Amino acid sequence: MCCVMTKNSYDSIAAVISTGQYRQAEQMSRVALLDAPADENLQQLLAFCLQYQGRHAEAVPLYEQMLRAHPSNGVYWSNYASVLDATGQLLKARDAFARAIPLNPGVRTLLQQYGLLLIRMGDFPSARLVLLDAYDLARDLPEARIYAARACSLSADMNGAWALLRPWRSWLPMADAELQLELCKVLSMSADVTGSAEVLDDLVLRGFDSIDIRLLRAGFCERFNRLDEAEALLLSTLDGSVASSPEERITAMNMLATVAMRRNQPAAARQWLEQAGPDGADDTAHFFELAAAADKLGDTHAAMRALGEAHRRKLAQLSVVMPEAVVPGAPAVAFDMPQVTVESYRRWPQLIAPEAQDSPVFVVGFPRSGTTLLEQMLDAHPQLQSMDENPFFNRLADLLTSHDKRILDDLSVLRQYDADELRRSYYAMVDERVQRRPGVRIVDKNPLNTMWLPLINRLFPNARIILALRHPCDVILSCHMQDFRAPTLALACTSLDRLARGYVQVMQRWVDESTILQPAAMNLRYEDVVDDLPGQAQRIAQFLGLDDASPMLGFHEHARGKTYIGTPSYSQVIEPVNRKAMGRWQKYREWIEPVLPTLDPMLRHWGYEVDA
């Protein structure tokens, strides 16, 4: 009789749960358990009711009790992991998920929960593997692609992220607004800011609004030079007209500081930043912005203190993402292919390749050397078209590595068919990022393509390459002050010593390989452009075979008319050329002085002085 009553109770409670009346079902479960306190089905129903009501902490001991009796029950382990996750017991939740997944093979949602937990814990490499496993179970599901792409971006696997997100336009509009908002964020993380803005605009046009949406809109407005609109959106999160959390208010104040800096109001920016404080332990942007404000105010010591904290936090993050790069003795900058030697170059077979006018124009140079200024000058010319920074050669290298890891070690193995296919892949990637205008040459600006000279030369041996140069001390100071997204570059910038070593590594490699490969390259000094813009524009025009240099002189007006410029210099290249960035390092000489011996070979090679 007792068993019949329990079965009837179980069915009745389950029926009430199915109608969403969780409070009533909870009360029924508790009453039934008075008669059958050891009935695990009733215990599970009670735990479900508590979970559904968001009372996760109360469900934890119930699952622990059930697991003591049934330690191999996969359902119990998965639910236990979920409630631990919801109560912030992340370490215990991680261990519970690790027990649950083998007991529930092929359950995508469980893998997805686990992967997102690992992201919150900062274990991005593990999260990437778990979320890619979840994607493999549902390759056509946007949700699986979006979360896997997020983990790839956080793990510096940008190629993987782009591949996963490639069909995103076909997903719009998404019925799940929260998932569409996640897509917006992941596209931005993956450096597709214009696509991210398009996804957000769709949500706004459909009437969705939240603090999260307002903050994202404000960020896009700032990047697209709509500062008044950005400020209005940010202030709306602080004026009490909408409910906002303390975390959201901190984010808004930090973003208001960015707007103030764009308006050349460093004192106001510093005030916003000091009022807000950092947005959590992982917030490096706050300290980079604080350093920029202090720098503008002439407070160099405060700037360096803020940078020290920014890079301390950045290094802690990078130690998780790329632990092999932070061990003692690791190179300041890791190269993805061995250096070309005279002997290895002699083995390269002669191949048919495009002429200069049918090849891209490559703009290279160490970051913060004036590459964005040069790119905007070139883009202002009607015979040239730029496309912001894209790591196309990293992606081509990944294609080669996936085919045979030995290819990058010896490019002589590439034959005509291989080179033709790689060029087709290159232009396919270009077409993903920009709609090419007929009859124009593409400008491929990526400072770190300096490290890919051999592969560039193998595919486009007749291409014109412009190496942007700037005083090495100004370069490393400016890099040290930037919150770079690319992990390799971000790591190199975490200290002035590492940065100086990395600069010399990269530039010496360029000098050595260009001596061997003899590319069609010209050097362009930032200081010469500032001192004589018309003369340097004429030099560039002659080098590229352009009849008229005059369109390049109005680059800042052209840049101001663009919707988006995707580099750290976006707020500077919409202004005319000026001397504000020249010799800036002298204010920080006491911090730069110790690394001058490291920089000395390149200072002498490029002809730069260090005496004021």
Q: What is the pLDDT of residue 561?
A: 63
pLDDT in tens, 337-375: 899 999 999 999 999 999 999 999 999 999 999 998 999
Cβ proximity of 216 and 229 under 8 Å: no
Could you state, in order of their start, the residue ranges of all structural domains in the chain? 342-606
DSSP 338: P
- CATH class assigned to 342-606: alpha beta
Check pLDDT > 60 for residue 227. yes
No. of helices (H) and no. of strands (E), the chain: 31, 5
Q: What is the pLDDT of residue 476?
A: 97
Q: Which of 475, 487, 518 is closest to 368 using CA atoms?
A: 475
Angle at which helix 193-205 crosses helix 177-189, to 10 degrees, equals 160
pLDDT grade for 269, boundaries at 50, 70 and 90: very high
- Cβ neighbours around 261 below 10 Å, total: 21
Check pLDDT > 90 for residue 600. yes
pTM higher than 0.85 for the full model? no
How far lies 137's CA from each of 9, 72, 141, in Å?
37, 24, 9
Provide CB contacts within 8 A for 35, sequence distance 6+: 2, 5, 6
Cβ proximity of 469 and 525 under 8 Å: yes
Angle (CA) 242 246 252, round 5°: 70
pLDDT in tens, 442-474: 999 999 899 999 999 999 999 999 999 999 999
Mean pLDDT of the chain: 90
- Greater confidence (558 vs 544) lies with 544
For the record, the structure tokens of 470 come out as 């700037």
- For residue 71, count CB atoms less than 10 angstroms from its CB and return exposed for 0-12, middle for 13-18, buried for 19 or more: exposed
Q: Which of 48, 42, 108 is closest to 83 using CA atoms?
A: 48
